[in-house]
Amino acid sequence: MNAGETCRSCRLRWEESRVSDYGVSHGACRVDVFAFLQLLARLEARRCLKDIEPRLFAEDEGPRHGDVEPWRDLYLCVSGKTELLYHLLCRCVLPEAAGGLEVDALFVDTDYSLDMLRLVSILDSRLSSAGLEEAALRSSLSRLLVVHCSSSSQLLLTLHYLETTLNSRPSLALLLIDSISAFYWLDRCEGGASISRQEEKLSKCAELLGRLLRDYKFTIFATCHTIRRSCSGLAASRSSTLEADRPYLCRPWQRLVTHRVLCSRQEAENHTAGGSREEKRQVFRVHCSSSSSRTKASRISSFCVTDAGVQFI
Amino acid sequence: MVGLQEGMCPGLDGGLLRSLLAADVKTVEDLVSSDLEEVAQKCSVSYKALYAIRRVLLAQHTAFPVSGADLYDELLSSTAIISTGNPSLDKLLDSGLYTGEVTELSGGPGSGKSQVCFGVAVHVSHQLKQRVIYIDTTGGLTASRLLEMLQSETSDRDEQMEALQRIHVFRLFDAYSLRDRLSTLRSGGLLQASGGGSVKAVIVDSVSAVISPLLGGKQNEGMSLMIQAALALKTMAKDFGVAVLVTNHVTRGGRGEVQPGLGASWSHIPRSRILLERTDRAPSGCSSTLRSATLIKSSRQPCLIKEELDLQWWSRSERRSSGKRKRDEADS
């Protein structure tokens, strides 16, 4: 392992030595060295989600600690992004015996859109294919925390409170926000004519998340709705596609984002299910690009949605 | 945004509030996100006192995390599936309208959206004996039509009247009153409006009639109103365990394909969407009551499945036999 690597243990070891120097020399520091080391011990336990979905992210470009990913569906209708979000969530909370990562996740539901029944049916089918029972479902579900927010102020305050949750649950490694753009129009209207007032809340949220990511090293996935329809429909030309998914959220948020995943729905294709019945199945295309300073990489993959959730093809 | 007020929490007295306001800390968010050390110096109060206030305010105003397991248990005990009374529609919706969810019917003029709404209202109030809130924004609801539908269900006049009483109608003709009514219903008015007894379905026919005139142009007030109404509907559905049914108009996309109205931002709101269309099979001359219904968004069923829907279903006297005949015809 070399020094430039983002490997968790290297980075932590480096930070640990720096922190203890800092604590000794800097008298004004409010937190004593002991508390800091304890904090680092907690960080050590927080798991890196680099291999959360190898089929989605380009090789060696999986989300590391401190990454944020928003995605948006390019075309409306059945949102492939919700399914993708459930897929990643399941991967996190499932026990290792069922191919999961066994970490805690916090789901911030700003749209009131979390479909628990759907989530449970995905979990259930994955658990039963691994031969696990009802008890495993309960323990998987207890690894998930859900928060409903109904305004951007509440979202901001809830994110402030997140720090307490992060401290008390060292295995919390994933924060999902569905969706970060839910209050976009409300904020725009409330802010009146001044753009900075319109974007104030989300900017504050983004700044806070930036700080938390730095201090606690977890991963955030956020969804972002398309707010414009691409006018030329599914066979959109490249330029109008870009126009439709131009980022519209505030700058601090854009700066926070390291990977962008774009979901789009392809034309439904016919395929033979079980050899007997022709069934229409929808195929979704995801385009994942990372905009980190290290490298520019992108990867395109496709998936379809089945009873057991997302299946990559 | 929550403004700071005297007595909001212990320790926040008039003197402190004035100095906080002078230091430009006006809302709870300001206080929570500010650098407490700086504020403590500016207002010359102790850091400890401010820290305690911040903690209490945070605890008061944040949404608390709920464990997924508890949420699932609660959902299992509270979710009900409300049959629409029409087998083909139930089949599309995976056996009916789910409480806690928003379901949308979209279709052009004359595609039967309102008729479906009437049918659902009558079915829920008469067959299931549950209360219904019907928000009519087009003036299309007439009591006589409901009565007509009820008369085909039962000939008992008392039963008809009882069923009608369980349908509570609000007539609202602009987006502001729709938003205000929904907010009132959400903040507890739902229980009062129904005069006790639980409401199981809220129907808004049509949501697009009042909102679409406000959309477009450069101003974003229309969008804001739409999202406010949507949030009110969603939170009401979740908090009170009611099924919400809304109707929407349709527009044509760039390539002439039919798509539900109200644009991309609204498309994230309903959990299930059904597109109603007239069928081509209708014999010329007479107006057919057959419609085709396509499921265009769902989290439970494969999308784009199509069913044939008979609007007459709800006002049939001998529903079982005639329905069977209809299906046999369709099969042959």
B36 & B151 share domain: no
Report how far residue A277's alpha carbon sits from residue A274's, in angstroms, rounded to the nearest whole number: 7
Least Cα separation, residue A140 to chain B (angstroms): 8
B49 & B181 share domain: no
Asked if residues B302 and A279 have their Cβ atoms less than 8 Å apart, the reply is: yes
Asked if B304 lies within 8 A of A280 by C-beta distance, the reply is yes
Q: Is A51 exposed, middle or buried (0-12, 13-18, 19+ CB in 10 A)?
A: exposed
Asked if residues A157 and B62 have their Cβ atoms less than 8 Å apart, the reply is: yes
Instruction: Scan residues 245-274 of B and list those with Cβ closer than 8 Å to A.
Output: 253-255, 257, 259, 263-265, 267-268, 271
B28 & B173 share domain: no
Asked if residues B240 and B159 have their Cβ atoms less than 8 Å apart, the reply is: no
Smallest Cα–Cα separation from A179: which of B279, B63, B265, B171?
A: B265
Residue B157 lies in a domain: yes
B78 touches chain A (CB under 8 A): no
- Range in A141-145, A237-241, B53-57 with the lowest mean pLDDT: A237-241
Best mutation target, A161, A248, A304, to test chain B (most B CBs within 10 A): A161
Q: Which residues in chain A have their CB less than 8 angstroms from residue B104's CB?
A: none
pLDDT at B281: 61
Residue B247 lies in a domain: yes
Shortest CA distance from B3: residue in chain A: A153
- Catalogue all structural domains in chain A, each as residue range(s) with its CATH number: 73-226+249-267+281-312 (3.40.50.300)
B29 & B88 share domain: no
The first and second tokens of residue B313, run together, are 């279903």
Question: What's the average pLDDT block by block, 10 residues per block, for chain B (332 residues)?
Answer: 78 83 84 84 84 86 88 89 90 89 90 90 90 91 89 88 90 90 82 70 90 80 88 89 92 79 84 86 62 84 78 63 41 40
Instruction: Scan residues 7-26 of B and list those with Cβ closer than 8 Å to A.
Output: none
B121 & B247 share domain: yes
SS3 B59: helix
Q: Is the pLDDT of residue A74 over 60?
A: no
Asked if B302 lies within 8 A of A111 by C-beta distance, the reply is no
Asked if B71 lies within 8 A of A93 by C-beta distance, the reply is no
Asked if residues B311 and A94 have their Cβ atoms less than 8 Å apart, the reply is: no
Report how far residue A40's alpha carbon sits from residue A36's, in angstroms, rounded to the nearest whole number: 6
Residues A214-229 pLDDT 10s: 888 788 888 887 776 5
HSE (CB half, 13 Å, CA atoms) of A87? 20
pLDDT at B257: 78
B48 & B90 share domain: no
pLDDT at B193: 63
Asked if residues B260 and B253 have their Cβ atoms less than 8 Å apart, the reply is: no
Asked if residues B193 and B236 have their Cβ atoms less than 8 Å apart, the reply is: no
CA angle, corner B254, sides to B252 and B260, nearest 5? 30
Parent domain of B55? 14-61
Residue B278 lies in a domain: yes
- Amino acid in the structure at residue B260: P
Residue B200 lies in a domain: yes
Residue B260 lies in a domain: yes
pLDDT at A72: 45
pLDDT at A67: 61
Asked if B302 lies within 8 A of A157 by C-beta distance, the reply is no
pLDDT at B72: 92
Residue B8 lies in a domain: no
Residue B190 lies in a domain: yes
- Range in A179-188, A294-303, B55-64, B104-113 with the lowest mean pLDDT: A294-303
Residues A243-258 pLDDT 10s: 555 677 888 888 888 7
Smallest Cα–Cα separation from A58: which of A288, A232, A262?
A: A288
- Range in A23-37, A137-151, B16-30, B313-327 with the lowest mean pLDDT: A23-37
Report how far residue A259's alpha carbon sits from residue A268's, in angstroms, rounded to the nearest whole number: 27
Report how far residue B196's alpha carbon sits from residue B211's, in angstroms, rounded to the nearest whole number: 30
pLDDT > 70 in chain A, percent: 63
B37 & B133 share domain: no
B22 & B145 share domain: no
Give residue A60's pLDDT band: very low, low, confident or very high (50, 70, 90): low
For residue A179, whether the previous peptide bond is cis, meaning omega lies within 30 degrees of 0, is: yes
Report how far residue B328's alpha carbon sits from residue B311's, in angstroms, rounded to the nearest whole number: 17
Smallest Cα–Cα separation from B293: which of B284, B306, B282, B312?
A: B306
pTM given for the model = 0.81
Number of domains in chain B: 2
| B199 Cβ contact partners less than 8 Å away, ≥ 6 residues apart | B130, B131, B132, B133, B168, B190, B191, B193, B240, B242
Least Cα separation, residue A245 to chain B (angstroms): 12
B85 & B38 share domain: no
Residues A75-91 pLDDT 10s: 333 457 788 888 888 98
CATH of the domain at B139: 3.40.50.300
Mean pLDDT (whole number) for A146-166: 89
B244 & B131 share domain: yes
B117 & B32 share domain: no
Asked if B71 lies within 8 A of A116 by C-beta distance, the reply is yes
pLDDT at B111: 87
Between A150 and B218, the more confident residue is A150
B27 touches chain A (CB under 8 A): yes
Give residue A16's pLDDT band: very low, low, confident or very high (50, 70, 90): very low
Q: H or E element: which one contains B58?
A: helix B47-61
Q: Which residues in chain A have their CB less than 8 angstroms from residue B267's CB?
A: 76-77
B46 & B160 share domain: no
Smallest Cβ distance to B65: which of A147, A183, A231?
A: A147
CA angle, corner B248, sides to B124 and A150, nearest 5? 80
pLDDT at B244: 94
